[in-house]
Amino acid sequence: MLDAMFFNESVNLPQKLPVNTCEYKPCMNGGECVRNERNDSLCRCTEFWTGIFCHLTLCNRKPCGNHGICELNTDSSDRYVCHCDSEYDKKHKMQIIF
């Protein structure tokens, strides 16, 4: 999966990294580094985080589009809330809680 933060960036790496990358604790914000059946290291993120290193919040993906401001909602089962521009909300009846 590509991450938008690293679009048009490149790094030269060997075919297979010779070390267990989980030893370096690459996962952020409470994410857990796990190895899959192909021996690749992956981050398993906690509830409000995403991205290859658990370095992005759900709001970084811009779920509210250009007409709202996203706020993480850690107090309930709704993971984020969109505070929509009032004109857009009136026209499109945007669902505000996700």
Helix or strand or coil: residue 67?
A: helix
Element (H, E) at 41: strand 41-44
Model confidence, pTM: 0.57
Q: Render pLDDT for 14-59 as a digit per residue (tens, 0 to 9).
A: 555 456 789 889 999 999 999 988 888 999 999 888 889 999 988 8
Structural domains in the chain, CATH included, are: 1-56 (2.10.25.10), 62-98 (no CATH)
Q: Is 53 left (phi over 0), alpha (psi -120 to 50) or beta?
A: alpha
